[in-house]
Structure 1
Amino acid sequence: MGGGLVMEESKTTSLRFLSVTILNILITFFELLGGIVSGSLSLISDAFHNFGDTFSIVLSYLANRLGNKKATPKNSYGYRRAEIISALFNSILLILISLFLLIEGISRIQHPENVKSGLMFWVAVISFFANLIAALLLHTGAHNNLNIKATYLHLLSDSLASIGVIIGSILIYFFNLTWIDPSITILVSLYIAYESLPIIKQTFSILMEGSPDINIEKVREDLLCIPEIKDVHHFHSWSINENELIASVHVNLPNLSLSEIEKVYSKIEQILKKKYNISHITIQAECTRGLKKAMCLSAEDENDIDLKLNK
């Protein structure tokens, strides 16, 4: 039953990605044409942004399909990291696009051009609703998936950019403030960068096997509450993606039978899964080896200890 739900969710996500891709391609050509005819930099820059979004959405879709593949003997943890790589690439692309828009916006302020505000307004209105529909299609999946979240932010930033263009076209029409057009472009570029940087930080941490936000000392205290455990050391945790945590830990136990040790393992797994949301746990039982050793020792610290013991 669980597998059926996953397959159904995967089909729904794939259909949404396809719908968003087609919609985004149409928006791109519509805005580019409207920007060229009206002379609006903000429309042209938004068209380029949408073109980048289209590429990102296709990449996200492929990563989503790959991420849903079953684990293999060679890739025993599956392919979920594909979506993390996609989210990182998409976010970096957003930063590059924002830099391009920032430079173009500053250049246009220095050399203002006439803009057909009426055409600019109607193109922006249509683009806003199209982008909003595309963003809503991915809104649900954006809460639990960094890959979809990065794509969702692409589309949301496009919607906000369209609002800026609409306001700008009204101001240009009534007050002939031509500097408004490039100013909107600059504001949008800064917003895009602001929203993208946290995703880059999080995805980079996952890919670098960074430890998730888990209090190691608290884990140790919780495990020492199990009567059979004398000490805990070498606790390591890392993320496969933003939802799946993995951990390994060494515990010192009395000289118990294998069946008794398995009961202790069950208690450990129950604590780590329920309290810390760790999905996969590797446990190593030891009698005196590593007893009273620090919870996490670096490779250098372990080498120093080995050298002292050998002396």
Structure 2
Amino acid sequence: MEKSLSGSRFLLVTVLNVVITIFELLGGLLSGSLSLLSDAFHNLGDALSIVLSYVAHRIGGKRQTRNNTYGYRRAEILAALLNAGVLIVISLALAIEAIRRLLNPEPVKGDIMLVVAVVSFLANLFSTILLNHGAQHNLNIRATYLHLLSDALASVGVIVGAILITVWQISWVDPTITILVAGYISYESWPIIKQTFGILMEASPKLDYEGIAHDLCQLPKVEGVHHIHAWLIDENNIAFSVHVNMDNLPLSEIEPIYRQIETLLCHKYGINHVTIQAECRRGKNEDLFFDQNDWRHD
């Protein structure tokens, strides 16, 4: 984990979320505010999410072993998928309860609601600042960051609602804000679910494969490229394998070509784990991507 995302920061964010949860639960019960109660449960989920993210990151940082030759980085992808999935489930539950409140309005004490919402907003804002930097480069941290950011935005909505309820006694504002926040949370969580699911299914990263083939064929003594495979170990690490046709060369002459290929793929395409299979004529006329249905022995 980056230095700015140390265990002490995660501990501080976790403690803040537990305190906010208790504070909002009490405030929600005293004021009768659904948006405060929903935010309290959301914060409780955040605290669990932060712990899960930290544990997953520690696991992801372990060295490769005989049983896990690519390491344990997928632990963070699993944590991100779980966190984002929980967010959507919570959002749906809140939206359903909010609709029930709209159909059957209940009285809300706007003054208590306002005080609790302001304190919660400041605490959530501080938590998001602590995790902001790591969220730019790590899906796991980004999922947790979105938990906290959505809570901060929910607190803003609750503050606005509390003001409207206190001044104009508009009770339907509380469940309406809950529905809006639930929609926003789901909207922000879906891309994480989509990306993590793609990584776990070993979907190919977005690369210019035709450009890669063209560039490799421009290297000296490379005559053809086929059977390309690419997959993501996590969101930052791409594994890549390729069959390369060359002249019948001794190994001492092939190895420098390998280094040229690895350097090109790393610097131009961001690929950091490359496996190359050199061939003379085998597969020379085959497609760029391997299709098992069309497989044949040369």
- For the superposition of Structure 1 and Structure 2, which TM-score range results when normalised by the shorter chain? over 0.9
After superposing on structure 2, the runs of 4+ consecutive aligned residues of structure 1 that deviate more than 4 Å are none
Paired with 1:116 and 1:172, the residues of 2 have a C-alpha distance of 8
Paired with 2:116 and 2:200, the residues of 1 have a C-alpha distance of 40
Paired with 1:224 and 1:90, the residues of 2 have a C-alpha distance of 43
- My pick for the range that moved more, 56-65 or 159-168, is 56-65
Give CA-to-partner distance per residue, 1:259-311, whole Å, 9 cap, x none: 10001101111110001111110000000110121011221121xx34xx7xx
| TM-score, normalising length: structure 2 | 0.98
Say if 2:119 is the partner of 1:126: yes
Matched residue type, 2:260: K
Paired with 1:226 and 1:218, the residues of 2 have a C-alpha distance of 13
Q: Which residue of 2 aligns with 1:62?
A: 55
Matched residue type, 1:18: L
Matched residue type, 2:163: I
Q: Which residue of 1 aligns with 2:19?
A: 26
Paired with 1:232 and 1:158, the residues of 2 have a C-alpha distance of 50
Q: Which residue of 1 aligns with 2:83?
A: 90
Paired with 2:163 and 2:241, the residues of 1 have a C-alpha distance of 60
| TM-score, normalising length: structure 1 | 0.94
Q: Which residue of 2 aligns with 1:211?
A: 204
Q: Which residue of 1 aligns with 2:137?
A: 144
Shift of 1:70: 1.2
Q: Which residue of 2 aligns with 1:277?
A: 270
Matched residue type, 2:154: A
Q: Which residue of 1 aligns with 2:287?
A: 294
Does the 8 Å CA contact 1:253/1:285 hold for their aligned counterparts?
Answer: yes
Written as runs of structure 1 = structure 2, the 5 A alignment for 1:1-311 is: 9=2, 12-302=5-295, 305-306=296-297
Q: What stretches of structure 1 of length at least 5 have no aligned partner? A: 1-5
Paired with 1:14 and 1:77, the residues of 2 have a C-alpha distance of 24
Q: Secondary structure at the match of 2:272?
A: strand
Matched residue type, 1:149: R
Does the 8 Å CA contact 2:228/2:290 hold for their aligned counterparts?
Answer: no
Paired with 2:115 and 2:15, the residues of 1 have a C-alpha distance of 21
Matched residue type, 1:133: F
Q: Secondary structure at the match of 1:230?
A: strand
Paired with 1:81 and 1:164, the residues of 2 have a C-alpha distance of 35
Matched residue type, 1:182: P
Does the 8 Å CA contact 1:109/1:182 hold for their aligned counterparts?
Answer: yes
Shift of 1:12: 4.2
How many residues align? The count is 298
Shift of 1:252: 0.5
Give CA-to-partner distance per residue, 1:222-266, whole Å, 9 cap, x none: 000012011100111111111111100000000111110001101
Q: What stretches of structure 2 of length at least 5 have no aligned partner? A: none
Give CA-to-partner distance per residue, 1:85-140, whole Å, 9 cap, x none: 00000000000000001001100000101111000000000000001111111001
Does the 8 Å CA contact 1:120/1:165 hold for their aligned counterparts?
Answer: yes
Paired with 1:58 and 1:12, the residues of 2 have a C-alpha distance of 13
Paired with 1:234 and 1:12, the residues of 2 have a C-alpha distance of 40
